[in-house]
Structure 1
Amino acid sequence: MCAAFSPFVGNISSFDHQQQDWSTFKSRLEQFFLANGINEESDKSGVKRRAILLSALTDDSFKLASNLVLPNTLDKVSFQKIIDVLDAHFIPKRCGFAERSKFYAASQQQGESYAQWAVRLRGLAAHCNFKHLEDALLDKFVMGMAAGPEREKIFTLDIKELTLSAAVDQAESVRCARAAAAASAPAGTSGGGDVLFKIEGVSKSQPDTDRVKCAVCGRKNHKTSECRFARYKCKKCNSKGHLRKMCNKVNYVGEDNVSEGDDE
């Protein structure tokens, strides 16, 4: 048995106006016609193109199209007429300044990569009718970037030589370098330097009088169990576990060995 043969190159999916975008479907339909050599020369009457279009509509979309061409019927209306009424119905009229307002109000979202941010800007600029599109895209890309080293790096570059593509590459390079540096840093290190004490649950605005003194050294910026002087020997009683200023013993032991300020 011979394999089924399709006369067309590729295929066109059905269109449901309640779930799909008309402009996207229309563009795909045009590409389908182009791939199969269906045009105004090969289909002068438009009957073939009309049949392909109508057969791709779901029941609800077919009914909508029928209502839009009333009092005519779809089989009596030209292909271009059907396209025109569907365009008028699905594609809203756009106000140039309203579109520009959306463009200028946009900013890079959390979790959005620099490449994604640039692509989203191009979509927002589609109906803005900028005279110098690339300049507008570059300006908004940089001004709308999230604050950080990437944005600061772009600010140092020569704007005369900078393009949107170069700005995206520069931002991604800085981001990758930061990620690589963080991944290669030794475990437990931080950019803030060595920490003398680990402080937990203490608010910067919390009054000092509300904090509990460390029983080892008397300070209030850490817990007793975390004190670095816990293994020091008291110069007053010669016992480990506290400094001299926290010693409550009356008698001095080894007084001759005591030096002034040794606990400090």
Structure 2
Amino acid sequence: MSVGKIGEFDVHSKDWKLYVERLEQYFVVNGVKTELQVPTLITIMGAESYELLVNLCTPGKPKNKTFEQISEIIEKHLQPKPSELAERYKFRQRSQTGSETISEYVAVLKRMSKTCEFGSWLEESLRDQLVCGISSETIRQRLFAESKLDFAKAYRLAVSMETAEKDAATVEGHSAKSSSAGTAECHMTAAPTWRRGKVAGERPARNASGAVRETGSRGAQGRRGGAAAAPAQRDWGDRAWRQQACCRACGGAHDTIACKFARYVCRACNKLGHLRRMCPNLMDQHRIGATGDVTSGSERESDGSEEFQIL
């Protein structure tokens, strides 16, 4: 049983040199004798490639030639030796593209160097083109600063710096996301503070039982320009606005749990958790008023009057 499998050769797209290299290793692994190499090649190379081989060998026949002769005949036809100057020009013009890593770029340079006939200048040519063709200016400047830089050292430094740049970009991206999330959380936590409208150091008045009272003057001040007065000036029959209001305690645009008025007792229903202007009972009356029974202005003006806070 043979080891491995060699498929047919595609004369339109495959590299004949690579195909021959694979075939030679196939002969070694499976112990194919020299006299059997040509019959094996003719058997597996495919009908189209065999027809090409017959035409190239005319008036002779492929079976009368050696494996090396057949390989050379097809190579000269499919892959004629290119101009050395032209191949070197292509090599010098090749730069790293935006989608290539340094490893991929070097692999391309090595493949192109096969037809450049650099000889003993191969290592220096690869080093020069790596440094000159690399896309990162930072890495190029670092390589310029090195003394006695050979190709192996240039390749090692370039790959390590490329990896470091990617790692730094990843860390910076995570840090930016964490900072944005922390800032947003800080704003959310601090949001109720500016809505309180209390002057620093001001202490609320207390009634006889020790509960804090919301004074009428404070309610009037909120109605004159404070943010807390906005819900009192709305039409409570407007369902869309009531759905937008987040706080069920005062009607402000924040969470109820963060609102200080959640500890106040409603003067209308004597229940804990909201101001009089957010009382569900009054909301129902206002909604009825919007359809027929008009709510009096005095009731709207008294929304901010005294409520009790449970300490």
**Fold in common (TM above 0.5):** yes
Deviation at residue 172 of structure 1 after TM alignment: 2.3
Q: Which residue of 1 aligns with 2:134?
A: 145
Q: Does 1:174 align with 2:161?
A: yes
Q: Which residue of 2 aligns with 1:30?
A: 24
Q: Among 74, 77, 97, which residue is 2:62 paired with?
A: 74
The aligned runs of 1:168-207 (5 Å cut-off) are: 168-185=155-172, 186-187=175-176
Whole-angstrom distance in 1 between the partners of 2:91 and 2:167: 33
The aligned runs of 1:40-119 (5 Å cut-off) are: 42-43=33-34, 46=35, 48-119=36-107
Partner letter of residue 88 of structure 1? K
Partner letter of residue 30 of structure 1? E
Whole-angstrom distance in 2 between the partners of 1:182 and 1:94: 43
Larger CA deviation: 180-189 vs 14-23: 180-189
Q: Which residue of 1 aligns with 2:283?
A: none
Higher relative contact order (CA 8 A, sep 6+): 2
Q: Secondary structure at the match of 1:187?
A: helix
Partner letter of residue 44 of structure 2? A
Partner letter of residue 16 of structure 2? W
Instruction: Name the % identity.
Output: 30
Structure with the larger helix share: 2
Q: Does 1:154 align with 2:158?
A: no
Whole-angstrom distance in 2 between the partners of 1:10 and 1:188: 51
Q: Among 6, 12, 22, which residue is 1:12 paired with?
A: 6
Whole-angstrom distance in 2 between the partners of 1:59 and 1:36: 23
Q: TM-score, normalised by structure 1?
A: 0.61
Deviation at residue 188 of structure 1 after TM alignment: 6.2
Unaligned runs of 5+ in 1: 1-5, 191-238, 241-264
Whole-angstrom distance in 1 between the partners of 2:11 and 2:25: 19
The aligned runs of 1:110-129 (5 Å cut-off) are: 110-129=98-117
Whole-angstrom distance in 2 between the partners of 1:189 and 1:138: 41
Partner letter of residue 155 of structure 1? F
Q: Secondary structure at the match of 1:132?
A: helix
Whole-angstrom distance in 2 between the partners of 1:78 and 1:183: 58
Whole-angstrom distance in 2 between the partners of 1:181 and 1:16: 46
Q: Secondary structure at the match of 2:14?
A: coil
Q: Which residue of 1 aligns with 2:203?
A: none
Deviation at residue 189 of structure 1 after TM alignment: 9.8
The Cα offsets for residues 113-168 of structure 1, whole Å up to 9 and x where unpaired, read as 1111111111111122223211111111101111432222212212x1x2323222
- Mark the structure with the bigger radius of gyration: 2
> Number of paired residues?
178
Q: Which residue of 2 aligns with 1:206?
A: none
